[in-house]
Structure 1
């Protein structure tokens, strides 16, 4: 009988050449190359089509300080900080059901169920419904809040029928 061979050693994750932390005011700070920490804001390159691909850390002057190819490739600590910051900045409820519409002409008030609770939106015009990849739709209300329908075909029959009147 042979003794089991030892498991291959796992290489430690490569240390990042930068660090990310929150400052005393709760804002993200990027430190690298021995330079003083600088406040940064994460900005997704493709927030709807590829939210985890292409992330830029932008300084107060609007210039990019660091490019991150894939958010899911980062170690847990910086990834958690960035995901929390992005969640605070990006408010895009997902429509799960269209309960009712006030009229089939615009402006129209929609009663909705979303992943963030029940709400109402005012659709000013059909042009405020944008088609995205696949069956996804982006609905922008009169206040500029964007609502996402990830898959219009996955909505219940009643919601689809109401929505079709505006498409």
Structure 2
């Protein structure tokens, strides 16, 4: 269902409203098909029942106002800090606490087990903390030597 022939506005309650072919869908939510590998390609707009009501091949195909509404909504729903450096870990046995520098500032989290570190793509990792928050290592080879050495102990 590829489409860009719709209008998208935010109602007074802050919910997105999509109108297409005279049908109004209130409370639509954008969902990325490939949030890490291709975040700006393949976005579904789904209704409150979870049914897809529109498909966007590329965000760049949309008008600026529609694109900014979708980006704003996605930004409010998705929280995935990107790890820039691993400062320290409390232990090489799990569970352990990691102190990291991210694109959103320094933080610490608890890693429950090695299985919470998953490879995605060629040189990327997805690390899930004990609260279910995902941390992204986008460029494993690009990390500093200290950070890679720590990660090697867990991989």
The SS at the match of 1:46 is coil
Q: Which structure ranks higher in relative contact order (CA pairs < 8 Å, sequence separation ≥ 6)?
A: 2
Counterpart mapping for 1:73-112 below 5 A: 73-112=61-100
Check the 8 A contact 2:45/2:53 in 1, yes or no: yes
Aligned to 1:130: 118
* TM-score in terms of structure 2 length: 0.94
**Higher mean Cα deviation, 58-67 or 16-25?**
16-25
The SS at the match of 1:165 is helix
| Aligned partner (choices 30, 33, 38) of residue 42 of structure 1 | 30
Aligned to 2:109: 121
**Higher mean Cα deviation, 41-50 or 138-147?**
41-50
* TM-score in terms of structure 1 length: 0.88
More strand by share: 2
What is the distance in 1 between the residues matched to 2:81 and 2:11? 29
Give structure 1 stretches of 5+ with no counterpart. Answer: 1-15
Describe the superposition over 1:111-160 as per-residue Cα deviations: whole angstroms up to 9, x where unpaired: 01000111001111111000011210000000000000001111111111
- Count of residues paired in the alignment: 152
What is the distance in 2 between the residues matched to 1:23 and 1:76? 18
The SS at the match of 1:30 is strand
Root mean square deviation, CA, Å: 1.0
What is the distance in 2 between the residues matched to 1:68 and 1:37? 16
Counterpart mapping for 1:1-80 below 5 A: 17-80=5-68
Q: Whose Rg is larger? A: 1
Per-residue deviation, 1:76: 0.9
